[in-house]
Amino acid sequence: MTTDELKADCYSAGERDWMLATQRWREQALAPLLRSLVRVQVTPNDLTLLSLLAGLAFCPLWLVSRPAAMVALLVHVLLDGLDGPLARFTNVASRRGSFTDSMADQIVVTGVTITLMATGVVGIVPGGAYVFLYTLVVAFAMIRNALAVPYSWLVRPRFIMYGWLLVETYAWPGSLEWLLWTFNVLLAWKVLTGFRKIRSKI
DSSP class of 83: H
**DSSP H stretches of helix in the chain:** 3-6, 13-39, 44-64, 66-80, 83-89, 95-118, 124-146, 158-170, 175-201
Angle made by CA atoms 42, 7, 25, in degrees to the nearest 5: 55
> Does 4 qualify as catalytic in the annotation?
no
Task: Given the residues 9, 80, 83, 105, select the one marked as catalytic.
Answer: 105
Concatenated DSSP letters for 119-149?
A: TTSS-HHHHHHHHHHHHHHHHHHHHHHHTT-
Active site residues: 105
